[in-house]
Amino acid sequence: MFSKLTIDIFGESIEKYHLKDDVYQSFANPYEMDSIEHLLYRKNWIDTVQWHYEDIIRDPQIEPNAALTLKRKIDASNQDRTDLVEFIDSYFLNKYQSVEIKKDATINTESPAWAIDRLSILTLKIYHMNEEAIRTDASPEHLEKCKTKLAILLEQRVDLSKAIDQLLTNIEAGNKYMKVYKQMKMYNDDELNPVLRKTTKEK
């Protein structure tokens, strides 16, 4: 099933990142450039680095200039994340382009890639909640709470995985169809963000 492949690749990416556990480490994708595996690995790596950006920026002792630099990195990471989601959806659009869509076919509330985006974040939550659940320097109460939360996250992963596989099966069978709307983010665009537009004109 596609969800099993996805979870395995996300887990591989997370484990690889944590060998150094450094947001500034170099990135190397082990999968062939034009493959879905390549896209999935890259997608989760972006999410994993951003997860740790978000930890760092919440440090109450962080210097203002460092926080601003990091905020810019988070903004760029969000754009990369959105781009990768659209690349993954393009893969599915191409894969299922010859499917005959049934007259009574319905559209899903989200595209396959946005569901996969949720699975990527969920995989990170599971990894880090498991870390919390086995800490040797935490109280028994903390460990028990984290174990309870971890069980819920694992249940969510089962449900989300099933939903993704069902969606792809239904698209392949023509029971559902895909439409992808480009995110059209405005805050990074010189013409659409009034602050950036003003800055550009002043130059």
Q: Is 200 within the bounds of a domain? A: no
pLDDT of residue 198 exceeding 90: no
Q: Is 50 within the bounds of a domain? A: yes
Which pLDDT does position 190 carry in this prediction?
A: 67
* Neighbouring C-beta atoms of residue 28, cutoff 10 Å: 8
Nearest to 27 by CA among 44, 2, 7: 44
Q: Is 99 within the bounds of a domain? A: yes
* Mean pLDDT computed over 162-180: 96
Looking at per-residue pLDDT, the higher value among 192 and 40 belongs to: 40
pLDDT of residue 132 exceeding 90: yes
* Neighbouring C-beta atoms of residue 200, cutoff 10 Å: 11
Reading the block at residue 73, the tokens are 């990195």
Which pLDDT does position 179 carry in this prediction?
A: 87
Q: Is 196 within the bounds of a domain? A: no
| Residue 152 belongs to domain spanning | 2-189
Cα of 67 vs its chain's centroid, Å: 23
Helices (H), the chain: 2-20, 36-57, 64-95, 112-133, 140-173, 194-202
Q: Is 30 within the bounds of a domain? A: yes
Reading the block at residue 146, the tokens are 């984290």
- Predicted TM-score (pTM) of the model is 0.89
Looking at per-residue pLDDT, the higher value among 184 and 130 belongs to: 130
Q: Is 117 within the bounds of a domain? A: yes
Quick: pLDDT tens for 71-98.
Answer: 999 999 999 999 999 999 999 999 999 9
Domain tally, the chain? 1
**Cβ neighbourhood burial of 177 (10 Å; 0-12, 13-18, 19+):** middle
Q: Is 198 within the bounds of a domain? A: no
Measure the CA–CA gap between 185 and 109, rounded to whole angstroms.
19
